[in-house]
Structures are given as C-alpha cells and as structure tokens.
Amino acid sequence: MSGTRYSRTRTAGGCLDPRRPACQTVAMFEHKTEPGWIAVEEFLTGAVVHPDGSLERAVQSAADAGMPPIEVAPNAGKLLKLLVQVSGARRVLEIGTLAGFSTMWMAQGLPDDGRLVTCEYLTKHADVARANLDAAGVGHKVEIRVGAALDSLAALEAEGQEPFDFVFIDADKENDVNYLEWAIRLGRPGATVILDNAIWEGAVLEPAMDPVNAPGIISALELMGRHPKLDATVIQTVGSKGWDGFAMAVIR
C-alpha cells in the first residue's frame, strides 16, 4: 500500500484547537476516487437517497463560500438520518458542523421538538450552516456552538445538560480520542456514537501517509475496540469522498 494513489493534496491551514498550537489541521480536499464509484453513487443518490432541494443547495452554498467539499456523501447523510430515527434519539450532539449538511440530515431524523447541538470552530462555517439550517426548516432544532469543540463540550457538561442519545464526531481528527471520551461522558447508556473518516484512504494501516491525522484516527479506533463502555464496529466506504468509512459504537 504505497505510491501516489493514496497521497493527499494538502494546503497548510491553521490549527483549529488552540490547546495544540503545534498541530496543523489541514483538509485533504481532493478525495481519491474512481469513476465507477462516482457513477454508482450518483445512481444510488437519485434512485434511493433522494436528498431534498435544501440539502443540494447546502452543498452548493459551501462551495460558493469557498469551503472544502468534505461533507458526508448523500447516502451517508441519509444513513445518519435513519440511524437517528431508528434509535429514537431526541438529543443529538455533533462535533464539526462545516456548512451544516450532516446537521440537516440528522435534524430531519429528529422529532419536531428534538434538539441538536453542533460544535464548530470557525464563525464563517457556523454562519453558512445557520443560513442553510434555517432555509431547510430545521433551524429551530439546532444550536450551533462556535469555538474549539473541547471548550464547548466542557461547557455543555458544566451546564448540566440532559445526556445525548446520539453523537456524530467529524472535526479535527487529532482530537478524535478526546471527542470519544466526551461522547461517553455526555451520552446516556444506550446512546449511539458515529465517528466519521475511520479509514482515511487506508492511512489507518500506514500512518506515515498522513502523520497529522492518521494517528488520531488509529488511536480512536483502538479505543473504540477496547473501551469497556463501548461496543463498536467499523464500515469501509467508497464513493465521491474517496476510500473512507465510519465507526459506530453503542455506549454500554
């Protein structure tokens, strides 16, 4: 497993967690895809997933605002919605909002009086997401907390909020282990935890491919596999977002 196929195009970005000034959270931006994966995903999206117009406009709004195309694929977003629905979740916690695409899907799976708290470091992203969520008619369910997620999570605990039923982790991968630990603290027993980007183009087996992000993902998978309070699995995916996947755990 080596060579250019798995290499990432990176641009240097600022660290999005002020506690870790040495880190460089940079987007891979260019997912490594194959034409067949894209064609099949387009077929599935049209034939099965049926994203509504507001979801399609949200993706476009992010592109127009110059944000990286790193939202979940439509079929993965729909899975998040269905998982929220079948789990009967009333309170969802998301770490990493971007333009609110995954947020919109999960909010669609919530009852009308359900609540979703989503954590986003960048004000610009939060502003785009707020507009998208309001335009989609789910804004009343969603609170966006702007700032380093670790601060927002500590604040949620300090406020003594009701436990969450469903947690979606999708922000800076270096903090995946910290986010998992927060999910266990803030989630109720029986809650679902989903961790995005669990395969990272295969870098889970070859961390040198991405020394910034891969170690955090690997540590998070190892923790999911051994934590006494978690029962977990991992699914590999291919499509418009390249070769990736997500991990799922239930809090015991």
Residues that bind ligand SAH (CB under 6 A): 16-17, 25, 70-72, 96-98, 101-102, 119-122, 125, 148-149, 170-172
Question: Which residue number, 32 or 125, has a Cβ lying nearer to ligand SAH?
Answer: 125
CB of residue 34 to ligand SAH, shortest distance in Å = 21
Q: Which residue has the tokens 């003594």?
A: 160
Most distant CA pair in the chain, distance: 50
CB of residue 42 to ligand SAH, shortest distance in Å = 18
HEC letters along 142-153:
EEEEECCHHHHH
- Give Cα separations from 234 to 62, 83, 199, 224 (angstroms): 28, 15, 9, 10
| 150 within 8 A of 169, measured Cβ to Cβ | no
Handedness of CA 11, 197, 176, 95 (dihedral sign): positive
Helix (H, G, I), strand (E, B) or coil at 174: helix
Q: What residues numbered 169-188 form the site for ligand DHB, per CB under 6 A?
A: 170
Token reading at 110: 């919530």
28 binds ligand DHB (CB under 6 A): yes
- What x/- string results for residues 189 through 208 when contact with ligand DHB is judged by CB under 6 A? -------xx-----------
CB of residue 58 to ligand SAH, shortest distance in Å = 8
Rounded-to-5 percentages of helix, strand, coil across the chain: 45, 20, 35
197 binds Mg ion (CB under 5 A): yes
CB of residue 31 to Mg ion, shortest distance in Å = 11
Q: What residues numbered 124-183 form the site for Mg ion, per CB under 5 A?
A: 170
* Residue 16 interacting partner from ligand SAH, Mg ion, ligand DHB, none (CB closer than 5 to 8 Å by kind): ligand SAH
* Residue 122 interacting partner from ligand SAH, Mg ion, ligand DHB, none (CB closer than 5 to 8 Å by kind): ligand SAH
What is the C-alpha separation between 167 and 172, in angstroms, rounded?
Answer: 15
CB of residue 241 to ligand SAH, shortest distance in Å = 9
Q: What residues numbered 52-111 form the site for ligand DHB, per CB under 6 A?
A: 70
Other Cβ atoms less than 10 A from the Cβ of 123: the count is 11
Contacts to ligand DHB by CB under 6 A: 27-28, 70, 170, 196-197
